[in-house]
């Protein structure tokens, strides 16, 4: 009997212990799905960024790869060499600051232009009948079917001295001599606005399409004139779309390389071009990496802060 | 990071292993300038040797160097320009050339080999492919309308502010190549074209800046089509490119006449050199291809097609009259004597040179 008693006692003790263990089943499938975007970001954004950051702390060398190692093991002596010279150089030479500011200016003006052009278009699409709406939306997306590079090259053909635009202007008698449009900032603005306009229209359209039309009627009932209700009702409701569109245009435009390289003049100073020159022309990988790191920090930090504040609201 | 580099190392080891396996196959990976060979050459070589050629092209030395410097490019034969090769040899990325494996080596022009040796001591790592000059391409009619009967074979066209101002409206294009253009500017100013002195550089920079407002753009290939259709009237560019532009203008039949002139002040001579990367998987095939290029028939075919000079004495009788007789491609001995090479600079000087160049370009 006593032996049996002892057995049950042990059994119940075991059960108690087992209960305390956190053996709740984990839903692995769910965890996997949730973690995918983070894994993606880590592999394709964070790790490459760390590599770039690491190179920015080294020095150029004539070797494979063309920069010095940060960590060296020499006679059981671990040497860690961090070179902050690239960042100091960035700071000391006003050239880079000017390039950053000029990029931000060009991107800012282009974003504003894209908003001014894109808003009426998005408004029209959102207010049109559902069948025409599908066609109009398809037309907005259609340019993506051709390579971005080809479309920029097409602008070279349009804007050059004996190109289509100058031909038309001369034939209409508006100008007598062809105007130099290519290789100017003007051409860069055209290129950026043209390329990124769909990125402005689509978020604007989504925001405007969701808008409840009865709100406008209510505003009118309360004595608002059409333009007042536009600024007091439509714009605030479209704000998330405006912010999303502006972000989608501004960020890639700041780092744009292809458009200023093909359409801009030699004096069009943009950071994407400076970065390319550092990397390929000057063959200075560490400096190019430092420029890239600073660009990322300068751009990403304010945007993340903006995001956080918006979410907090 | 440590784990990551271990992973990367193993990936590299894997690719290296696979290329060792591929070495048994009859294959050859060539990386050359675009439009730098006559179209049938590669298939002729394939038929002759049974080696399958993968032929990739680039359009700038920088692109080539970026690929080579990351390592394990997989290419067996590359054709960089002298000053670039000079640096790349310092990085130890090329194997030495055993000229006894090349039965046609004797066809090479020995005086040109001597000049190449300034980039590559004893021609140990390279075999020349072609050579040329940087000079002036211009639209004959437009220049005459603006400058009258003044001879156009002078760098005054782009370096004398009074003259370049007269050409500003019709457009001046300058090669976007800091080291090469600055050495031409230094030579024009009566200084050593390979000087690494800061004050000399400052003088060349000032010279460029005095003319900057009269330049339309800095670009390394755009002038080819722009000269041909009259978008610009003067370009400082590579001779073969300008001659190509000349024939394009003729084909278009719009009455645009383009001419190339080697400036009387002297200019830069460059060499494009074949070299075999040290990690090339098919070195023997690369040797066979080099030997094929050195054959008089192949060399003449290349020169007749691309309008660049080949350093191949045995090929000269096979050259077309409009090629060998063109002083823009094969200049006279007298003109040749005034040509200089541009040597590779130290990394430190490269940085201040490139900064000076950015300042010129952006007009700061």
Give B29's strand partners.
B54
Cβ contact, residue pair A65, B354, below 8 Å: no
Check residue B121 and give its pLDDT. Answer: 94
Residues 6+ away with beta carbon under 8 Å from A5: none
CA distance to A53, A54, A183, A248, per residue, from A187 (Å): 34, 37, 7, 21
> Is A80 a member of any domain?
no
Check residue A64 and give its pLDDT. Answer: 80
> Is A5 a member of any domain?
no
Check residue A313 and give its pLDDT. Answer: 63
Q: What is the pLDDT of residues A37-74, one digit of tens each?
A: 889 989 998 999 999 999 999 988 888 888 888 888 77
> Is A129 a member of any domain?
yes
A-contacting residues in B 174-193 (Cβ below 8 Å):
176, 178
- Name the pairing type of β-strands B52-58 and B27-33: parallel
CA distance to A55, A61, A91, A287, B95, per residue, from A84 (Å): 11, 16, 11, 10, 35
Q: What is the pLDDT of residues A126-145, one digit of tens each?
A: 999 999 999 999 999 999 89
Residue A234: domain span:
93-282
Residues 6+ away with beta carbon under 8 Å from B1: A50, A54
Check residue A246 and give its pLDDT. Answer: 93
Q: What is the number of other CB atoms lying within 10 angstroms of the CB of residue A191?
A: 24
Please give the Cα distance from B188 to A70 (Å, whole number). Answer: 43
Does ipTM surpass 0.90 in this model? no
Please give the Cα distance from B358 to A266 (Å, whole number). Answer: 9
Q: Which residues of chain B have pLDDT under 70?
A: 1-25
- List domains and CATH numbers for chain B: 2-126+275-294 (3.40.190.10), 133-269+343-362 (3.40.190.10)
* A67 phi-psi bin (left φ>0, alpha ψ -120 to 50, beta other): beta
CB of B69 within 8 Å of any CB in chain A? yes
Alpha helix positions (H), chain B? 2-22, 41-49, 61-69, 82-90, 110-116, 140-147, 156-159, 161-167, 178-188, 198-212, 223-228, 239-252, 283-294, 296-306, 321-324, 333-336, 347-362
Of B63, B90, B218, the CB nearest to A266: B218
Q: Which residues of chain A have pLDDT under 50?
A: 1
Please give the Cα distance from A71 to A54 (Å, whole number). Answer: 11
Please give the Cα distance from A278 to A292 (Å, whole number). Answer: 10
Mean pLDDT, rounded, of chain A: 87
> Residue A215 belongs to a domain with what CATH number?
1.10.3720.10
Which two tokens mark A166?
Answer: 């100058």
Check residue B237 and give its pLDDT. Answer: 95
Give B228's strand partners.
none
Check residue B9 and give its pLDDT. Answer: 47
Q: pTM higher than 0.90, yes or no? A: no
Please give the Cα distance from B113 to B131 (Å, whole number). Answer: 11
Cβ contact, residue pair B1, A50, below 8 Å: yes
Please give the Cα distance from A157 to A164 (Å, whole number). Answer: 7
Radius of gyration for the alpha carbons in chain B, expressed in angstroms and rounded: 21
Please give the Cα distance from A260 to A268 (Å, whole number). Answer: 7
> Is A72 a member of any domain?
no
Check residue A76 and give its pLDDT. Answer: 80
Cβ contact, residue pair A64, B350, below 8 Å: no
CB A118 within 8 A of CB A245: yes
Of A65, A95, A267, the CB nearest to B363: A267
Chain B residues in contact with A161 by the CB 8 A cut-off are 171, 231
The number of folded domains in chain A is 1
């Amino acid at each position: 009997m006593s032996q049996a008693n002892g057995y049950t006692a042990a059994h119940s003790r075991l059960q108690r212990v087992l209960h305390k263990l956190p053996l709740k089943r984990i839903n692995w499938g769910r965890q996997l799905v949730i973690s995918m975007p983070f894994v993606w970001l880590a592999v394709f954004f964070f790790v490459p960024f760390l590599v770039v950051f690491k190179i920015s702390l080294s020095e150029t060398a004539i070797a494979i790869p063309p920069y010095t190692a940060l960590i060296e093991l020499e006679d059981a002596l671990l040497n860690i060499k961090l070179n902050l010279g690239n960042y100091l150089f960035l700071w000391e030479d006003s050239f880079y600051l000017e390039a950053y500011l000029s990029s931000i200016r060009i991107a800012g003006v282009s974003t504003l232009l894209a908003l001014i052009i894109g808003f009426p278009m998005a408004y029209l699409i959102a207010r049109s009948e559902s069948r025409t709406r599908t066609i109009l939306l398809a037309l907005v997306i259609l340019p993506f079917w051709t390579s971005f590079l080809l479309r920029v090259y097409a602008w070279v053909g349009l804007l050059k001295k004996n190109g289509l635009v100058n031909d038309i202007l001369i034939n209409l008698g508006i100008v007598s001599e062809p105007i130099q449009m290519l290789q100017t900032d003007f051409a860069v603005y055209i290129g950026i606005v043209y390329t990124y306009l769909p990125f402005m229209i689509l978020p604007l359209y989504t925001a405007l399409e969701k808008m409840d039309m009865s709100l406008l009627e209510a505003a009118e009932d309360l004595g608002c004139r059409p333009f007042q209700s536009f600024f007091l009702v439509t714009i605030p409701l479209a704000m998330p779309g405006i912010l999303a569109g502006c972000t989608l245009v501004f960020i890639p435009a700041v780092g744009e390389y292809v458009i200023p390289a093909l359409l801009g003049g030699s004096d069009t100073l943009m950071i994407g071009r400076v970065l390319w020159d550092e990397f390929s022309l000057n063959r200075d990988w560490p400096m190019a990496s430092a420029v890239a790191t600073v660009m990322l920090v300068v751009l990403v930090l304010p945007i993340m802060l903006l995001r956080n504040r918006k979410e907090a609201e | 990071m440590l784990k990551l580099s271990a992973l990367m190392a193993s990936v590299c080891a894997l690719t290296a292993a696979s290329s060792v396996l591929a070495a048994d196959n009859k294959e050859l990976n060539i990386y050359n300038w675009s439009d730098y060979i006559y179209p049938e050459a590669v298939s002729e070589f394939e038929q002759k040797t049974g080696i399958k050629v993968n032929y990739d092209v680039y359009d700038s030395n920088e692109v080539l160097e970026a690929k080579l410097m990351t390592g394990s490019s997989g290419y067996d034969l590359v054709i960089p320009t002298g000053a670039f090769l000079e640096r790349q040899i310092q990085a130890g990325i090329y194997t030495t050339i055993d000229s006894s494996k090349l039965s046609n080596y004797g066809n090479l022009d020995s005086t040109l080999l001597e000049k190449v040796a300034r980039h590559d001591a004893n021609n140990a790592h390279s075999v020349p492919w072609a050579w040329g000059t940087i000079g002036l391409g211009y639209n004959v009619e437009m220049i005459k309308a603006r400058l009258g009967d003044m001879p156009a074979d002078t760098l005054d066209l782009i370096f004398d502010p009074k003259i370049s101002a007269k050409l500003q409206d019709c457009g001046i294009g300058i090669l976007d190549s800091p080291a090469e253009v600055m050495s031409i500017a230094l030579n024009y100013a009566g200084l050593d074209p390979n000087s690494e002195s800061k004050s000399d550089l400052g003088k060349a920079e000032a010279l460029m800046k005095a003319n900057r407002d009269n330049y339309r753009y800095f670009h390394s290939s755009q002038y080819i089509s722009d000269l041909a259709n009259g978008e610009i009237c003067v370009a400082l560019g590579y001779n073969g490119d300008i001659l190509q532009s000349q024939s394009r203008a003729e084909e278009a039949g719009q009455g645009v006449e383009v001419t190339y002139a080697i400036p009387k002040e002297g200019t830069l001579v460059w060499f494009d050199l074949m070299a075999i990367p040290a990690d090339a998987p098919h070195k023997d095939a690369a040797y066979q291809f080099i030997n094929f290029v050195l054959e008089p028939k192949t060399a003449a075919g290349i020169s007749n097609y691309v309008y660049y000079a080949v350093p191949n004495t045995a090929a000269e009788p096979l050259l077309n009259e409009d090629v060998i007789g063109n002083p823009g491609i094969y200049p006279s001995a007298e003109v040749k004597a005034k040509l200089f090479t541009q040597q590779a600079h130290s990394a430190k000087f490269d940085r201040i040179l490139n900064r000076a160049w950015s300042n010129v370009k952006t007009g700061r």
